[in-house]
């Protein structure tokens, strides 16, 4: 084999290796976008005063141990707690932001997340303080439009959540027959640790 042929073969070989390296694509877990309907948050007919646990990775955990890190949020009546600080052994954090759910394509850089602590919940409770308003006239619990909950899970992944209804079946209009403590909410979960939801 003469030197020219040898150099040509080497050049082709190096070119093939370069092409293969350029074409390597790292597979990412897809972003999850779901709506949860009628999550029972200690409804009035429940036998015990318990939270219902939710994991963005696994969904509703009806048998979750509150002393584990396998849940992210827990619901009871109008309270929503995170698995961190005084509420659980995880390191989850959350914050409520003002804005349009669909417009948030990533976690706002200016947002300060926190775990539940002695001073209060990361997702504040009480009418007008967090995600809902309460009417003393009709006794309706109504989600506040333009309130988006951001969550950082114990595993370091992010989600955005919008609570849509507090009543069973997500009724179009509230009346005295509405059965409360049944959450309907939508969320987007980014499982790869990125703060982006696309």
8 A C-beta contact, residue 94 and residue 114: yes
pLDDT at 8: 45
pLDDT at 29: 79
pLDDT at 114: 98
pLDDT at 26: 56
- The structural domains of the chain, with segments of one domain joined by +, span 27-190
- Smallest Cα–Cα separation from 44: which of 138, 161, 127, 166? 166
Segments in the chain below pLDDT 70: 1-27, 43-49, 62-64
pLDDT at 5: 47
Cα distance between residue 5 and residue 129, in whole Å:
77
- Smallest Cα–Cα separation from 178: which of 170, 186, 187, 188? 170
- Kindly report, residue by residue over 20-68, the tens digit of the pLDDT: 455 665 567 799 999 999 999 986 655 566 889 999 999 888 666 788 9
Q: What are 170's two structure tokens?
A: 């997500």
Bridge partners of 34, per DSSP, are: 187
* DSSP letter (8 states) at residue 105: S
- Smallest Cα–Cα separation from 129: which of 156, 96, 105, 173? 96
- Where does the chain show beta strands of DSSP type E? 32-40, 52-55, 59-61, 73-76, 79-82, 93-98, 132-134, 141-143, 147-152, 158-167, 180-190
Q: What is the CA radius of gyration of the chain?
A: 24
Contacts of 175 (CB under 8 A, 6+ apart): none
Q: What is the pTM of this model?
A: 0.84
Distances (CA, A) of 68 to 54, 89, 119: 12, 6, 23
pLDDT at 4: 47
Q: What are 46's two structure tokens?
A: 């429940």
């Amino acid at each position: 084999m003469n030197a020219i042929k040898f150099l040509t073969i080497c050049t082709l070989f190096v070119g093939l290796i370069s092409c293969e390296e350029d074409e390597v694509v790292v597979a990412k877990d897809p972003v999850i976008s779901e709506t949860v309907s009628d999550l029972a948050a200690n409804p009035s007919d429940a036998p015990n005063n318990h939270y219902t646990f939710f994991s963005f990775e696994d969904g509703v955990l009806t048998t979750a141990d509150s002393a584990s890190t396998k849940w992210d949020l827990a619901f009871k009546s109008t309270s929503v707690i995170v698995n961190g600080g005084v509420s659980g052994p995880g390191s989850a954090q959350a914050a409520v932001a003002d804005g349009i759910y669909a417009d948030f394509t990533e976690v706002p850089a200016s947002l300060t997340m926190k775990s539940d602590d002695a001073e209060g919940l990361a997702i504040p409770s009480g009418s007008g303080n967090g995600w809902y308003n309460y009417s003393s006239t009709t006794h309706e619990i109504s989600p506040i439009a333009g309130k988006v909950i951001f969550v950082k899970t114990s595993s370091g992944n992010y989600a955005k959540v919008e609570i849509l209804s507090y009543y069973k079946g997500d009724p179009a209009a509230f009346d005295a027959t509405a059965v409360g403590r049944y959450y309907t909410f939508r969320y987007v979960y980014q499982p790869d640790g990125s703060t982006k939801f696309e």
